[in-house]
């Protein structure tokens, strides 16, 4: 008759328990597939209104950029706004301007549409907006405003 000694049963049971526990471990977490895991700054842009009916008076458009660091609003951040393509200018009569974010993280500039006599038909104005960063990476966004000839 074959007899199993307890000296051999105990080490086999321990090895079996260690092997079962190691199958459930995950030492490395998978990164989020929807964005880089190390990018800390985010920002959003908007224009109000985004469609302008031109007239004999220059129509103002408010362009906003919301800058956040780690999900919190970033105050005192420089944001550069550029009219990339299309007519019109900012309220300081330039095609590139800069603004500093307030305590809520918003940088706001005013774009002035052209007069209806200055355009031949409906047009699109494209803006290039980017915040100043201290990292080797930079972020930018573009936004469009549609001009309708009055």
The domains of the chain are located at: 41-148
pLDDT number for residue 77 = 93
User: Could you give the CA distance from residue 103 to residue 124 in angstroms, rounded to a whole number?
Assistant: 32
Q: What's the pLDDT tens digit per position in 112-137?
A: 999 999 999 999 999 999 998 777 77
**Which pTM was predicted?**
0.72
> Residue for token digits 């550069």?
80
Percent of the chain's residues with pLDDT above 70: 78
Q: What's the pLDDT tens digit per position in 13-61?
A: 777 776 666 555 565 666 566 655 555 788 899 999 999 999 999 999 9
How many other C-beta atoms are found inside a 10 Å radius of the C-beta of residue 106?
Answer: 19
User: Could you give the CA distance from residue 93 to residue 134 in angstroms, rounded to a whole number?
Assistant: 29
Residue 150: pLDDT band (50, 70, 90) is confident
Average pLDDT over residues 100-104: 96
Percent of the chain's residues with pLDDT above 90: 62
Pick the CATH number of 41-148 from 1.10.8.420, 2.60.20.30, 2.60.40.10, 3.20.20.100: 2.60.40.10
pLDDT number for residue 133 = 79
Bridge partners (DSSP) listed for residue 142:
128
70 φ/ψ sector (left φ>0, alpha ψ -120 to 50, else beta): left
Cβ within 8 Å of residue 68, ≥6 positions away: 41, 42, 43, 74, 105
Would the pLDDT of 1 be above 60? no
> Residue for token digits 């031109």?
54
């Amino acid at each position: 008759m074959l007899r199993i000694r307890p000296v051999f049963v105990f080490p086999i049971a321990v090895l079996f328990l260690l092997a079962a526990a190691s199958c459930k471990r995950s030492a490395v977490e998978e990164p989020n597939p929807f964005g880089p895991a190390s990018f800390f700054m985010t920002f959003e842009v908007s224009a109000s209104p985004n469609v302008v009916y031109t007239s004999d008076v220059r129509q103002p458009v408010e362009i906003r950029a919301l800058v956040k660091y780690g999900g919190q609003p970033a105050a005192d951040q420089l944001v550069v706004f550029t009219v990339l393509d299309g007519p019109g200018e900012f309220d300081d009569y330039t095609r590139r301007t800069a603004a500093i974010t307030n305590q809520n993280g918003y940088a706001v500039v005013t774009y002035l549409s052209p007069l209806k006599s200055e355009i031949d038909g409906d047009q699109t104005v494209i803006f290039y907006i980017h915040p100043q960063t201290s990292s080797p990476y930079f972020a930018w966004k573009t936004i469009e405003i549609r001009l309708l000839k009055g």
